[in-house]
Structure 1
Amino acid sequence: MKGKVLAAVSDAAPGLISGDDGRRYRFDASTVRSGPLRAGQEVDFDISGDMAVEIYALTNQYGLSPEVGRGWINFYFSSTGRVSRRQYWLYGVLVTFVVSVVLGWIPVVGQILGLAAFWSSIALSFKRCHDVGRSGWWSFLPAIPLVLTVVVSMVEAANHAAMAGTILLAIVTLGSYVWVFVAVYVRRGEPGPNRFGPDPLGLPIA
């Protein structure tokens, strides 16, 4: 049976659970199988007379599943799976930007947050690529002409040559950024599951 903890075990009295059947059941610490319980936690338990036994916590005291925290960590820092456009722009870009602005000025914390945000941006970009059916490495495609642009510009500057090669590569770089932006970050993902995972539309993050 499932229910909710009304009162935790104390030195003076046993704990109390309100079951889904409308009845209340006492319990003691020896029957809890998943660590100390707090008021407000949802639990699964068996019944022995008027006592709850074999009790397992389904949520923490805030009503959240233990999987929730793990789900958000995976969302921001795992490069596997898929994210929808809405998830990417709202929970990825916007939330990361706001947190960086609010906390980025704090010494040490700002540096750590910057590194975390950098990796998170890569992980989320990979998952956007996955959502449209492409390898995550496609997100680095514009970096190729960008590096070539820098190298060619240095060579042309050293030889006092015309900057025609640099200008051409700069145009190619800009074009590749626009193409990736539209094809990956604006385009709707593939409907239904693909080789990278299930369709993220309609699925909770955690």
Structure 2
Amino acid sequence: MNWKAIFFTLEGRLPRLPFWLASLAVLAATLLILVPAGFFRWDPATDPAPLYYRVLELVVTVVFAYPTYAIMLKRLYDRDHPGTAAFVFIVLDIVAECVNVVSPIETDSGFTPLGWVLMIPLIILLFALVIELGLRRGTRGPNRFGPDPLVTSS
């Protein structure tokens, strides 16, 4: 498995196992940055996240946007779909984080109306992508995006 290609190229196809491993690696890296930065700093049950933490969330989202897009795109290609859903997901995520920096989309009583408007489509798309990319098998045989990555060449 070529990790550099998985995270940084936009060509080819990606089977489910490498998709899950790469996605978990991005999630773990994100949590390794965000959890210590916010741990014991404030109580999310009574306060929205402070500005420094919301800015850090935005920076982390932007830094990991390209690798996340590359992973999702190649998995969409394996399913013989264009990369539109991956692009929309990344854009929605960055927009939500930008808005959250300017004005918190979550308060002590839950999401603000703007937070709901931003987060509901993002969450629905995330669930659809988890099902489509993480649970369904890729196209058998070659497709317009390349050869079947599960077929071993002899």
* TM-score of the superposed pair, with normalisation by structure 1: 0.42
1:97 shift after superposition: 6.8
> Percent identity among equivalent residues?
27
Alignment match of 1:126 (pick from 57, 66, 73): 73
Distance 2:114 2:64 in 1: 34
2:69–2:87 contact (8 Å) kept in structure 1: no
Match of 1:78 in 2: 9
Inter-partner Cα distance in structure 2 for 1:167 and 1:87: 32
Q: CA separation of 1:178/1:75 partners in 2, compared to 1, >3 Å: closer, same or farther?
A: closer
User: Cα deviation per residue 1:163-187 (whole Å; 9 max; x = unaligned)?
Assistant: 5454244222211111122112322
Shift in CA distance, 117/72, structure 1 to aligned 2, threshold 3 Å: same
Are residues 1:187 and 2:136 paired?
yes
Q: For residue 124 of structure 1, report the CA deviation from its aligned partner.
A: 2.0
Please show how residues 83-122 of structure 1 align to structure 2 within 5 Å: 83-90=14-21, 92-94=22-24, 119-122=66-69
- Does the 8 Å CA contact 2:96/2:119 hold for their aligned counterparts? no
Note the C-alpha offset of 1:81.
Answer: 0.7
CA RMSD of aligned residues (A): 4.0
Relative contact order, higher structure (CA 8 A, sep 6+): 2
Q: Following the alignment from structure 1 to structure 2, what is the Cα–Cα distance between the partners of residues 116 and 164?
A: 27
Q: Which has the higher strand share?
A: 1
> Is 2:133 the counterpart of 1:202?
no
Query: Following TM superposition, by how much is the alpha carbon of 1:77 offset from its aligned partner in structure 2, in angstroms?
Result: 2.4
Are the structure 2 counterparts of residues 203 and 123 from structure 1 closer, same or farther at C-alpha, using a change threshold of 3 Å?
A: farther
Q: For structure 2, which runs of at least 5 residues remain unmatched after alignment?
A: 34-59, 106-111
- Equivalent residue number for residue 86 of structure 2: 139
Residue of structure 2 aligned with 1:171, choices 120, 130, 138: 120
More helix by share: 2
Identify if the C-alpha distance between structure 1 residues 171 and 121 changes in structure 2 by more than 3 Å, giving closer, same or farther: closer
Runs of 4+ in 1 over 6 A off after TM superposition: 114-117
Q: Which runs of 5+ in 1 are unaligned?
A: 1-67, 105-113, 157-162
Q: Structure 1 pair 172/77, CA: closer, same or farther in 2 (3 Å)? A: closer
How does the TM-score come out when normalised to structure 2?
0.53
Larger of the two Rg values belongs to structure? 1
**Count of residue pairs brought into register by the alignment:** 114
Whole-Å separation in 2 of the counterparts to 1:173 and 1:117: 17
Aligned letter for 2:83? G
Write the deviation string for residues 85-136 of structure 1: whole angstroms up to 9, x where unpaired: 012223x3456677x69xx9xxxxxxxxx99976433322210110111122
